[in-house]
Amino acid sequence: MTVISLKAHRAVPDESASQSVPSEVQGASARVRLGMERNRCTPPELHVERAVSVTHCYRETEGLSLFTRRGRMLQRIVSEHSVQIQQGELIVGMKTLTPRGSPVFPEINCSWVERDLDRLATRSSTPFFVSDRTKQILRAEVFPYWKDRQISDRITAAVPADIWRADERGLIYNYFRSRTIGHINAGYDKVLTKGMAGIVADVEGSLSRLDKQDRDCVHKRQFLESVILACEAGVSLAGRYAAETLRLAAAEPDPLRQAELERTAAILNRVPAKPAVTFQEALQSFWMTHLMINLETDGHAFGPGRFDQYLYPYYRHSIDSGEITQSHAQELVDLIWVKFDEITLAKDSGEAQTSSSYPEFQNLNIGGLTRAGHDAVNEVSYLCLDALEHTMLPQPGLSAQIASLTPPKFLLRCCEVLRLGTGMPAMFNADSMVLGMVNRGKTLGDARASSLNGCVATFCGGKDRMASSGYFNLAKALELALNNGVDRLTGEVLGPQTGDPRDFTCFEEVVAAFKVQVEHFVALKVRYDNTVRDIYARYCPVPFTSAVIDDCIANAVDWHSGGSHYKIATMSGVAVGTVADALSAIRKHVFDNHTVGMAELIDALDCNWKGQEILRQTLVNKTPHYGNDDAFADELAVRVQDIFCTAVESHRDTQGAQYWVDLLPTTSHIALGELTGATPDGRQAMAWLSEGVSPVQGHDWKGPTASNRSVAKLDHARTNGTLLNIKISPQTVKSDRDLHNLAALIRAYFAQGGFHMQFNIIDRKILLDAMDRPELHRDLLIRVAGYSDYFVLLSKEIQQEILSRAEHGL
Amino acid sequence: MQRKGLVFDIRSYAIHDGPGLRTTVFLKGCPLHCVWCCNPESQTDSPDLLWLAEHCLNCDLCRSVCPRGALNTPPQGGKSVALELCDHCGACVNQCPGDALNLMGRWLTVEEVLAEVMKDALCFENSGGGLTLSGGEPMAQAAFATDLLRSYKREEKGLHTVMETCGVAEWASFQRLAEDVDLFLYDIKHMDPVEHLRLTGRDNRLILDNASALAQMGREIVIRLPLIPGKNDSEANLIATAEFVRKLPGVNRIDILPYHRLGEPKYRRLGLPYALAGISSLGNECAESAQQLLQRFGLEVRIGG
């Protein structure tokens, strides 16, 4: 079999394509390639340094207010941080001593680290090397202190048994139970424009305005003072890097490199303390801020947000003043790509299964609209696309916002980069995003300035708190509705008794039972979320994050306690497609055509189709499926969404935030599928569920345009994000003309109200070969679900899943 | 009563049947029987029942629902259809749990076809695409094709139309619909009338005459040449083709369609012999050397179209 690796595919000269959109691609520079190679060759490692600093600090500060302790903790982390400048770097700052390493966050959750410590290096999903020294220090100095003190122990103690059971049985899932809420879109622009000094001045202003009669005054003062400690920590981190850079400069024999190091040191002495002036200063200030957020907590989805927008003024200044050239600017952006790729985080093995990847959802946005509603595409947007083309790295996650007014040139350039097969940029409908954000209470300007965070969640950068708290398994709710509240796999009573389905006499009774189960577990999940969120609010203030998100300082309220300007809570529905197809099968075969009786169908589900292959095949092949622009099935998908949205939107969290739905599964549809019994669409027990808003895998046989029309019938603006995967074989995007067709496909989906599309442009043969001979395909990057990762690093199940997504094209 | 056409497939997201994103409507029936045809199920002018062994669950439900007793399960396995009894009612197809039985060809009205086609109007508009008529041979149902194209042009104001044709039809039929076709993808399979007869069952006189007449009318035409190893890829035939095309006013593009074997399994399923058994797909090199030869006549030549 001839196997063409993606690299070889790229190397094939395609004249028509290279002429399509002008770009100044010159490839990655030597220092960029050096950084890429360094990241690729360094095995991810667990580092003990942060854990020791935090443990010592907490021990020594017992009795002080928690705010003060958290501020001091950041200062301690920074003062004991191993400062390291790598060869050839211009933008400096590392999360750990080695690239792609992970610190431990013992104050949040170290019980899983303790449990998995000896297996961490050999586990199948996202292994981390752990040295004997690290193990020994963790066991001697870290683990003993945190028993019953760490957040995860407090959560375990606080969450009631019925909620745990629903979690264990795969109905609901909360990913804050093992790590912090994350999903932070910091106001990087604030740091760039006013510097840490400016933020400290804001805090001082807020301190001076504190009302001494306010009974929370003491707390507020302590909080605000902790924010000052956090800002100082950020400045001193830069200072330590400046000192080390100067030390290296003094010893550097090469005068060119010496000058570079001296310039970097000078920059670090100015930012992030002071406002940035040049492009390199802005990037360095951005990176220090990003690093501080990464050192403060272990949540994922720390998103750079509207990167091209807040960096553009500095780019303009440096280019116009002649300080840097276009190619120098490109190299700096390429280098920041390498820095993003250094960021990883070791996760609990359980979670590593539902989100099985190293990339940490650092979603970087380009394009879209300005606050005034004009086209926001600028030169930096193109630099970012070129950076992805140069580096082909899985991080940052690149998202392109496409509005109806976005120029064709930008969309076509996005398509051209998409064709390289990294699955990026993911394409987002800016118009639909604005509509949804306004519906969720954002001002029009803020809605336009919004960004994607994580995989597909929408955020108002620098002002928001969106807590996408984890998954809700709609297929499991249907299972309970079709089994009188009993878990079909374990026989336990989990949900309300909605009646024996054998007695249902019309389709509406099925829907009514499903609705009751959904409402019950949505309420349960809200209780779950609130319990967990309150623990973070009480035990885990985040003064640095609070410094960079409005209006925590003005309100003198920590971000984890709801201090931000905007707040929403969301719940991620999983398996809309599976449930729509299952309902379609029941309606068509039980109630319309009487192909099968309800009792017989339930019996078949009970025994997981054993001896019922003819019935199962009939339900698979003779049912209208969601994803083929068939009104019968699509209306049911719309109804499933409406039932779920209505249930979720009736709740607020304990911080007053309105609940909304999003429809993104990450890779949870596999793990949750394993906990779900047979479903009437012919799906076997424990098989995968459908993911995101995508149709059931392989059931959208009428091609991508029909599939997109179905999916667009859902109300995307009513959600905080939906996720649609499309796989296209490379033959369909070979020529210049094909790029226009791809762009037209995207435009048409967006015109119908669709929110997001991501493309895997991959040949099936390549995937099969990569499963057989992973060593030949280490560079094969594919889109998984809201992120891209190396195919050979994914678990076998996820590899299978990607194969089975209907391959559109020829 | 409204005229109906026998349609055997409607394919959206067709990107190789003309410019932009298109929906291709395949009409059933063909006056030619090319030995390399990759859609043998499209040749007959009535619906065909197709049975896929690999999908069959051997449940025999098909036999029990057939009102005319046309289906049989021979003792050695498989499925046989008594063609003289089958009236294509589709009862067995609707019943078949494994989707092993398929009816190729449905009688549809112009409205029904257009309703399906126009679902992708947004994609057409964004890409400069539109409707493609293919087959079979669309001219084998010339009256239906004329109605379909006319309605589409009337209702969709200028959206683009393409017809893939082998050129076999009365000139008057072409004349009636030519104005509603923006681009003809026109097959020329062999320049020698005797060879043409041998390979397709008819000589090529009508085909060449119609091509000239359409070109005289000023219609946009791209010539398609299915290149079959050992059948029509001789230098003499390529030169004759190029010389003919060069004389067609306004026509200067030939698309080479290299022979592939994807149709072979269908012959097995239909119980038909495959005349090209043993001939392998056309290699890139052969296609490229044919391309170079044709280019020497000043023609634009693409491989694959």
pLDDT digits 0-9 by tens, B45-84: 999 888 878 788 989 999 999 999 999 888 877 788 888 8
Contact B88, B103 (CB under 8 A): yes
The answer to whether B127 contacts A744, with C-beta atoms less than 8 Å apart, is yes
Q: Are A542 and A296 in contact (CB under 8 A)?
A: yes
Q: How far is B170 from chain A (nearest CA, A)?
A: 34
Tokens of B85: 């009894």
Q: Dihedrals φ, ψ of B108, to 5°?
A: -130, 150
How distant is the Cα of B122 from the closest Cα of chain A, in angstroms?
5
| B119/A709 Cβ within 8 A | yes
Q: Which chain A residues touch B59 with a CB distance below 8 Å?
A: 614
| Helical (H) or strand (E) element with A154 | helix A151-158
Say how many C-beta atoms besides its own lie within 10 A of residue A12's C-beta: 10
Share the mean pLDDT of chain A. 91
* Per-residue model confidence as pLDDT tens digits over A480-520: 999 999 999 999 999 999 999 999 999 999 999 999 999 99
Counting every residue, how long is chain B? 305
pLDDT > 70: percent of chain A:
92
Q: A359 or A762: whose pLDDT is higher?
A: A359
Beta bridge partners of B9: B26
Determine the pLDDT at residue A10. Answer: 31
The whole-number average pLDDT for the span B180-201 is 97
Contact B157, B189 (CB under 8 A): no
Nearest to B154 by CA among B203, B118, B208, B187: B118
Backbone angles phi, psi at A165, to 5 degrees: -65, -45
CA proximity to A542, closest of A277, A250, A184: A184
Q: Please tell me the distance in Å from A421's CA to the nearest CA on chain B.
A: 20
Count the residues in chain A. 810
Half-sphere exposure of A476 (CA within 13 A, CB side): 33
Q: State the average pLDDT over residues A240-246.
A: 98
Q: What is the mean pLDDT of residues B195-209?
A: 96
How far apart, in Å, are the Cα atoms of A189 and each of A112, A314, A380, A433, B293?
Answer: 36, 11, 15, 21, 62
Average pLDDT over residues A719-728: 86
Residues 6+ apart with CB under 8 A from B20: A740, A741, A744, B123, B124, B127, B128, B129, B130, B160
Contacts of A741 in chain B (CB under 8 A): 15, 20-21, 127, 129
Kindly report the nearest CA distance between residue A621 and chain B, in angstroms. Answer: 6
Rounded Cα–Cα distance for residues A421 and A789 (Å): 11
Reported in sequence order, the residue ranges of A64-108 that DSSP labels E, i.e. its strands, are none
The amino acid at residue A591 is: F
Instruction: Reply yes or no on whether the pLDDT at A2 is more than 60.
Output: no
A614, A618, A744 ranked by CB distance to B21: nearest: A744
Buried b (16+ CB within 10 A) or exposed e, A623-655: bbbbbbbbeebbbbbbbbbebbbebbeebebeb
User: Do B123 and A744 make contact, defined as CB atoms within 8 angstroms?
Assistant: yes
pLDDT score for A779: 58
Confirm or reject contact between B64 and chain A (CB < 8 A). Answer: no
Is the pLDDT at B107 greater than 90? The verdict is yes
* % chain B with pLDDT above 90: 68
Choose the weakest-confidence range: A306-310, A765-769, B93-97: A765-769
pTM metric for this prediction = 0.91
The string of pLDDT tens digits covering residues A637-678 is 999 999 999 999 999 999 999 999 999 877 788 889 999 999
To the nearest whole Å, the CA of B272 is away from the closest chain A CA by 26
d(CA A580, CA A641): 9
Q: Which amino acid is at B90?
A: G
What would the pLDDT profile of B272-292 be if each residue is shown by its tens digit? Answer: 888 888 787 777 788 999 999
**CB-CB neighbours of A70 under 10 Å:** 29
**Placement of tokens 């599939």 in the chain:** A707
Residues in B closer than 8 angstroms to A807, CB to CB, are none
The type of residue at B129 is G
Eight-class DSSP state of B186: E
Q: A419 near A739, Cβ under 8 Å? A: yes
Chain A residues whose C-beta sits inside 8 Å of any chain B C-beta: 613-615, 617-618, 621-622, 629, 702-706, 709, 732, 737-738, 740-741, 743-745, 747-748, 751-752, 808, 810
Instruction: Quote the CA–CA distance of A689 and A147 in Å, as a whole number.
Output: 37
A745 and B13 within 8 Å at the Cβ level: the answer is: yes
Q: Say how far apart CA A738 and CA B268 lie, in whole Å.
A: 34
Residue keyed to tokens 């500095």? A314
Rounded to an integer, the average pLDDT of A314-339 is 98
**Nearest CB partner across the interface for A617, out of B21, B57, B120:** B57
β-strand partners of B224: B187, B255
In this prediction, residue A24 carries a pLDDT of 38
Average pLDDT over residues A46-52: 98
CA distances from B119 to A696, B26, B116 (A): 21, 17, 6
DSSP state of A508: H
B145: left (phi over 0), alpha (psi -120 to 50) or beta: alpha
Strand (E) or helix (H) holding B205: helix B205-216
Q: Which residue has the higher pLDDT, A151 or A360?
A: A151
- What pLDDT is recorded for position A276? 98
pLDDT at A462 over 70: yes
Which of A741, A750, A752, A810 would best serve as a mutation to test chain B binding (most B beta carbons within 10 A)?
A741
Measure CB to CB from residue B59 to each of A614, A732, A745 and give the nearest one.
A614
Residue A320 has pLDDT above 70, yes or no: yes
pLDDT at res. A55: 98
Assign B64 to helix, strand or coil: helix
- Give the closest-approach CA distance of B130 to chain A in angstroms: 12
